[in-house]
């Protein structure tokens, strides 16, 4: 049996990673790295840990390195090259990537890591900032079962559900399914609220009724009040959703999946961006309907 995990490094202290690393600091000897050093310094004022000021060479005593950064391009910069994680991590280390990215980059990292005796799990998350704060994220994983079993206790610290879906890339593919489903749900909820308003109904009363039946969803339960009030500062930003939907649509072109609703909602989010709502949360699809003139 492998020795228990004791030392971790978390790379990427953004909206999600900041809190995920915070949870880890209560259970493990935790180091953090962020490209903007002031963010890491801010984290250290709130949580117990160390600031890792560079990634090459890495501390030799690390058991697991976790990343939660931007996109495929950022992953290439962090993982590959002479200063990258794969070149500098010690054999036996496990790399866990929580970035939402393509399945291709996950497979590429997994292959390169395996050649050096390093484990890798692609593990995108769902649950938003609140899920990260509360340690209630859902984690979708791809990788080898033995590596997953060693990595799982670390992810348990900030997750309510962790599942291995298949080989490398399967976590990313599952996250694509998640975003596809959310896109349709939010548009449907937006249309229902908009229709109720146009029909002269009390939108809150309508939601109170239909949320008790088949129309109920997490989005309805958690977003309808702020949507009705026209407040869109409570979740995943439109810019980020468009990045994710772009990944979904690109994969669909490759595997010949038909995503007509997803493609349409992606264009609706482009309209939101044009309205100045790049940083509004994804429920702002309602604002597009309220302001649509055609």
What range does the domain containing 53 cover? 7-166
CATH of residue 80: 3.40.50.720
Domain-ending residue, one of 166, 194, 212: 166
For residues 144 and 183, state if they share a domain.
Answer: no
Write out the two tokens for 95. 């790399």
In this prediction the pTM is 0.94
**How far is the C-alpha of 78 from the C-alpha of 75, rounded, in Å?**
5
Q: Is residue 208 part of a domain?
A: yes
Alpha carbons within 13 angstroms on the beta-carbon side of residue 272 total: 28
For 18-44, write each residue's pLDDT tens digit: 999 999 999 999 999 999 999 999 999
For residues 159 and 216, state if they share a domain.
Answer: no
pLDDT band of residue 65 (cuts 50, 70, 90) is very high
Work out the percent of the chain whose per-residue pLDDT is above 90: 91
Greatest distance between any 2 Cα atoms in the chain: 65
For residues 160 and 179, state if they share a domain.
Answer: no
For residues 97 and 222, state if they share a domain.
Answer: no
For residues 154 and 204, state if they share a domain.
Answer: no
Q: Is residue 1 part of a domain?
A: no
Rg (CA), the chain: 20
Q: Is residue 206 part of a domain?
A: yes
**How far is the C-alpha of 190 from the C-alpha of 195, rounded, in Å?**
8
Average pLDDT taken over every residue of the chain = 95
Domain-ending residue, one of 166, 183, 217: 166
**How distant is the alpha carbon of residue 121 from its chain centre?**
14
Q: Is residue 58 part of a domain?
A: yes
Write out the two tokens for 46. 């709130």
Position 2 scores a pLDDT of 61
Alpha-helical (H) ranges within 215-276 are 218-228, 238-255, 260-274
pLDDT band of residue 60 (cuts 50, 70, 90) is confident
Write out the two tokens for 234. 């409570």
CATH of residue 251: 1.10.1040.10
- Residue 291 burial (10 A CB sphere; 0-12, 13-18, 19+): exposed
Domain-ending residue, one of 138, 166, 194: 166
Phi, psi of 97 (to 5 degrees): -110, 120
Position 293 scores a pLDDT of 53
Count the domains in the chain: 2
For residues 101 and 228, state if they share a domain.
Answer: no
For residues 48 and 181, state if they share a domain.
Answer: no
**How distant is the alpha carbon of residue 258 from its chain centre?**
23
The catalytic residue positions are 175
Q: 280 and 287 in contact (C-beta within 8 Å)? A: yes
Who's near 283: CB < 8 A, 6+ residues apart? 186, 189, 190, 219, 223, 226, 227, 232, 234, 235
More confident residue, 162 or 128: 162
Q: Is residue 2 part of a domain?
A: no
For residues 40 and 58, state if they share a domain.
Answer: yes
For residues 177 and 162, state if they share a domain.
Answer: no
Average pLDDT of span 186-194: 98
Alpha carbons within 13 angstroms on the beta-carbon side of residue 80 total: 13
Exposed e or buried b per residue across 228-254, where buried means at least 16 C-beta atoms within 10 angstroms of its C-beta:
beeebebbbbbebbbbbbebbbebbee
For residues 127 and 107, state if they share a domain.
Answer: yes
For residues 17 and 138, state if they share a domain.
Answer: yes
For residues 144 and 191, state if they share a domain.
Answer: no
């Amino acid at each position: 049996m492998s020795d228990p995990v004791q030392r971790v490094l978390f790379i990427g202290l953004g909206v999600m990673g900041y809190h995920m690393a915070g949870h880890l600091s209560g259970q493990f000897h935790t180091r953090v790295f962020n490209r903007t050093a002031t963010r890491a310094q801010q984290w250290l004022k709130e949580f117990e840990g160390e600031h890792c000021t560079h990634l090459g060479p890495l501390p030799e005593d690390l058991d697991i390195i976790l990343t939660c950064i931007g996109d495929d391009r950022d992953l290439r910069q962090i993982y590959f090259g002479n200063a990258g994680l794969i070149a500098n991590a010690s054999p036996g280390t496990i790399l866990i990537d929580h970035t939402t990215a393509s399945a291709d980059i996950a497979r590429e990292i997994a292959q390169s890591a395996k050649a050096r005796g390093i484990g890798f799990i692609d593990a995108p998350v769902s649950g938003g900032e609140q899920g990260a704060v509360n340690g209630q994220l859902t984690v979708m994983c791809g990788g080898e079962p033995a590596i997953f079993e060693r990595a799982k206790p670390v992810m348990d610290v900030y997750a309510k559900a962790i599942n291995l879906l298949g080989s490398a890339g399967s976590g990313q593919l599952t996250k694509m399914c998640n975003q596809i489903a959310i896109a349709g749900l939010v548009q449907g909820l937006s249309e229902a609220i908009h229709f109720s308003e146009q029909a002269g109904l009390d939108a809150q009363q309508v939601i109170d009724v239909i949320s008790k039946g088949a129309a109920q969803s997490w989005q309805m339960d958690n977003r309808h009040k702020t949507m009705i009030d026209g407040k869109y500062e409570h979740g995943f930003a439109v810019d980020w959703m468009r990045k994710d939907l772009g990944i979904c649509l690109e994969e669909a072109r490759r595997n010949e999946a038909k995503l007509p609703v997803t493609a349409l909602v992606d264009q609706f989010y482009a309209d939101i961006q044009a309205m100045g709502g790049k940083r509004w949360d994804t429920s702002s699809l309602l604002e597009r309907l309220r302001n649509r003139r055609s």
